[in-house]
Chain A
Amino acid sequence: MRGRMEFSQNHLLGIEPLKPAEITTVLDLAEEYVALNRSSEKHATVLEGMTQINMFFESSTRTQASFELAGKRLGADVMNMSMAHSSLKKGETLIDTALTLNAMHPDLLVVRHGSSGAVNLLAEKVNCAVLNAGDGKHEHPTQALLDALTIRRKKGRLHRLVVAICGDIAHSRVARSNLILLGKMENRIRLIAPPTLMPKGVEEFGVEVFDDMRAGLEGADVVMMLRLQRERMDGGFVPSEREYFHRYGLDAEKLAHAKEDAIVMHPGPMNRGVEIDSAIADDINRSVIQEQVEMGVAVRMAAMDLLARNLRRARERARLREAANG
């Protein structure tokens, strides 16, 4: 890669610790991997000899597959551990599980966990690079990065855009990571949700808050829809699925309030007819949902590549120090 790159992280635990320049570094490198992924020789060797463990305490198909593919394309040895029904159920603590894995000398640890902050805790206890693949309601950094890359490719820039994020913001780590990232890159962010699905104190994040979807979409460049978990639709947070779709589902009529060339995004998996109308999800002129999946692999390759470089550098430094002392 050309030029001087700025990326000084040892882990990717969230968007919050990243500097704008570091975000740009990841996206620039990801662009190169997009090209690689589209070629017929989809293989690089930057992670050769390294071991990547995907540890998913919450079940996931898409994110896990994306990380697995990313690792394999970079030449890493990838192992998947589905922890949803494993030793944690036998009473082993998260930290013991981490120490056990650590003893196997992984280089990259990809973790998803249901508790906010669990990945931070784990990162303190292992000596390899940790990537957060989603922790509770806290962060999901690679999702925000892949969304950013998609936006940048479609809009030609990642600043001074009006981005509307709509749906279950209170329970969404995707929303948190996205609003932090888009805020760092100086965009105007609008959050659209019924008050029951809006986190408290969110006005202080420097965003605009709407409960009327049409008003919130007015003049938007990007419309990000969030998934609404089915268990939240049965009267606990919103009265019913159909009322939710009526007020907050994205259809052509509501989308008409956004800019003419606004793009529609969704982190998947979609509930068609609940938060998004099928016609829009499949409209190739508006929906970039398939592209988001493609960018996901590239962004994860870039993030793991950068972390692996820092890891190698740190280990080299440690080796030299040891040699000098010995």
Chain B
Amino acid sequence: MLWFHNARLIDPETGTDEIGTLLIRDGQIVERDGPCPEDAEAVDCHGKCLAPGIVDMGVQVGEPGAQHKESLRTAGLAAARGGVSTIVMRPDTDPAIDTPEVLEYVTRRAQARTPVHIRAMAALTRGRAGREMAEIGFLLDAGAVAFTDGDRVVSDTKLLGRCMSYARGMGALIIGHPQDAGLSAGACASSGKFASLKGLPAVSPMAERMGLDRDMGLVEMTGVRYHADQITTARSLPALMRAKNNGLDVSAGISIHHLTLNEFDVGDYRTFFKFTPPLRSEDDRRALVQAVAEGIIDVICSMHTPQDEESKRLPFEEAAAGAVGLETLLPAAMRLHHSEGLSLPLVWRALSLNPARRLGLTAGRLAVGAPADLVLFDPDAPFILDRFKLQSKSKNTPFDEARMQGRVLATYVAGQCVHAREQADA
């Protein structure tokens, strides 16, 4: 039993940010703003922030298939250090998580190796190949929280429509990657002055809008619950809003990188800034921050994508896309608070409450009865990131040597402390 006091409680559900106390017992929150029971251990939070642990929707773990880039163990360590209490794993493993057997294997190994919760999404089509439907029913029974082919777009509209109809019957959530596959083929930058100057093959932001429009059509046709993994351009926002206003069961996410970086950060072909979809213009970035503030975009995630040095030390076009993000998600999200003026409860709504709700998890709240998945952090603590100190096996972060603010002091999962910052390196 732990009694947190002198804590700034960040509650995304009520939208409050106030000093109070929190009592947890048996992995649950049991009382707020009450006195300390005699048998409880008191934790003085020194006025720092206590918030629900982050639910990171869309983490790539290299296990199975690419353990040299990231294993369940290292991903778990990174998550604990980053204040992520629930990893929502992407199915883009090798083999893909497209059968209940693979899902059970991953879940079993995760339980033994990671201090945080791991939930898995399953592939929508077998082998994520976009040809045959995966066993959505069995996978749901085995615990899949959503169905997605990751950044591979199912280009066969008929098949995708059938997957959606089938999934709808079971209430399953489908996660799409809105992108017109034809337009974006081979592109590694957003079209515009920068890409033209650097001579990089580029895609118009319109490709995302077109992909979203197509998916919205299918959602309207089938009535499925749908989440767009990443909405990264201002062009997509009206289409997204229209769908929501029309009553479709639709939500959208964005990676923290698209909210804090823009295409110019690529600079002299720095491959750690190569993402799928590519980084966008500053105008897009600002519109998207606004969209998060207004709740048009529901979820912020890390899109954690570990890549080893060999995959990145290549000419830009040939290099692998993606960045690790479990440990940098929180400090990067603090930029939205410090520089863009978003309140902490609002940021936590996107980091924790919304993804949990969307996936049917009870986390993301500070209410009595909610799981005691918590992160204690100092939103102001400044530091310079050293990528070699990351817990992830892969060190491909775009924030290397960046000045950041916001440090995780402790992470609790189901009432257990899984990470506590040493005073020495604070």
Contact in complex: B192, A117 (CB < 8 Å): no
B196 to chain A, nearest CB (A): 4
Instruction: Evaluate contact between A200 and B195: CB separation under 8 angstroms.
Output: yes
Within 8 Å of chain A (Cβ to Cβ): is B426? no
B197 touches A117 (CB 8 A): no
Are B316 and A204 touching (Cβ within 8 A)?
no
| B315 near A118: Cβ-Cβ < 8 Å | yes
Contact A200 B202, beta carbon cutoff 8 Å: yes
Q: How far is the CA of A139 from the CA of B195 in the complex (A)?
A: 13
> Is the C-beta of A135 less than 8 angstroms from some C-beta in chain B?
yes
List of A residues within 8 angstroms of B204 by Cβ: 200
For the residues of B in contact with A, the DSSP-based class is: loop
Say yes or no: is A112 at the interface (Cβ < 8 Å to chain B): no
A201 touches B315 (CB 8 A): no
By size class, the interface of chain B is: 20 to 34
A200 touches B269 (CB 8 A): no
Residues facing A in B192-222 (CB within 8 A) are 192-202, 204
> Contact between A201 and B199 (Cβ–Cβ < 8 Å)?
no
Output the residue of A170, A176, A200, A204 with the most chain B CB within 10 A.
A200
Q: Which of A16, A170, A201 neighbours the largest number of chain B CB atoms within 10 Å of its CB?
A: A201
CB distance from B193 to the nearest CB of A (A): 4
Chain A 111-138 near chain B by CB (<8 Å), digits 1 or 0: 0010111101100000000000001111
Most chain A C-beta atoms within 10 Å of own C-beta, residue among B192, B198, B204, B310? B198
Asked whether A173 is an interface residue with its Cβ less than 8 Å from the other chain, the reply is: yes
Closest to B281 in A: A201
The one of B191, B199, B202 in contact with A136, judged by C-beta atoms closer than 8 angstroms, is B199
Q: Give every chain B residue within 8 A of A135 (Cβ-Cβ).
A: 199
A199 to chain B: closest residue by CB? B196
- What are the residues of chain A within 8 A of B197 when measuring CB–CB? 16, 176, 205
Tally of chain A residues near chain B (CB < 8 A) = 25
B283 within 8 A of A: no
Q: Which chain A residues lie closer than 8 Å to B315 at the CB level?
A: 94, 113, 115-118, 121, 136
CB distance from A317 to the nearest CB of B (A): 25
B192-A201 in contact (CB<8A): yes
B264 CB to closest chain A CB (Å) equals 13
Rounded to whole Å, the gap between the CB of B39 and the closest CB of chain A is 60
Give B200's nearest chain A residue, CB to CB. A116
The reply to whether B199 and A202 form a contact with Cβ atoms under 8 Å apart is no
In the assembled complex, B380 has its CB within 8 A of some CB on chain A: no
In B330-387, the 8 Å CB interface with A consists of: none
Interface centre among B197, B200, B269 (most CB of A within 10 A): B197
Question: Could you mark each residue 305-330 of chain B with 1 if its beta carbon is under 8 Å from any beta carbon of chain A, else 0?
Answer: 00000100111111000000000000
Interface residues of A in 199-228 (CB under 8 A from B): 199-202, 204-205
Which residues of chain B come closer than 8 Å to A115, judged between CB atoms? Answer: 315-318
- Name 10 A/B residue pairs within 8 A (Cβ), A-sorted: A115-B318, A116-B199, A116-B315, A117-B268, A117-B269, A121-B313, A137-B199, A139-B199, A201-B191, A201-B193
Give B residues with C-beta under 8 Å from A: 191-202, 204, 268-269, 310, 313-318
Given A93-B313, A200-B192, 4 further pairs, Cβ under 8 A = A93-B314, A115-B318, A117-B317, A200-B202
